[in-house]
Amino acid sequence: GAVVSQHPSWVICKSGTSVKIECRSLDFQATTMFWYRQFPKQSLMLMATSNEGSKATYEQGVEKDKFLINHASLTLSTLTVTSAHPEDSSFYICSARDAGFNSPLHFGNGTRLTVT
Partner 1 sequence: AQKVTQAQTEISVVEKEDVTLDCVYETRDTTYYLFWYKQPPSGELVFLIRRNSFDEQNEISGRYSWNFQKSTSSFNFTITASQVVDSAVYFCALSEETSGSRLTFGEGTQLTVNP
Q: Which is nearer to partner 1, 59 or 63 (CB)?
A: 59
Considering only residues 69, 97, 113, 115, which one is a binding residue for partner 1 as defined by CB under 8 A? 97
Q: What angle do CA 104, 67, 109 make, to 5 degrees?
A: 40
For 59, list phi and psi in degrees, rounded to 5: -75, 160
105 binds partner 1 (CB under 8 A): yes
The CA-atom distances, in angstroms, between 102 and each of 41, 82, 98, 105 are: 30, 34, 10, 9
Angle at 90 between CA 16 and CA 92, to 5 degrees: 105
Of residues 74 and 82, the one with the C-beta less far from partner 1: 74
CA 90, CA 110: separation in Å to the nearest integer?
10
For position 29 contacting partner 1 by CB under 8 A, the verdict is no
CB of 70 to partner 1, least distance (A): 19
Nearest-angstrom CA–CA distance, 5 and 12: 19
Interaction mask 56-95, partner 1, x per CB under 8 A: -----------------------------------x-x-x
5 binds partner 1 (CB under 8 A): no
Contact residues: partner 1, CB under 8 A = 32, 34, 36, 42-46, 49, 91, 93, 95, 97, 101-105, 107, 109-110, 112
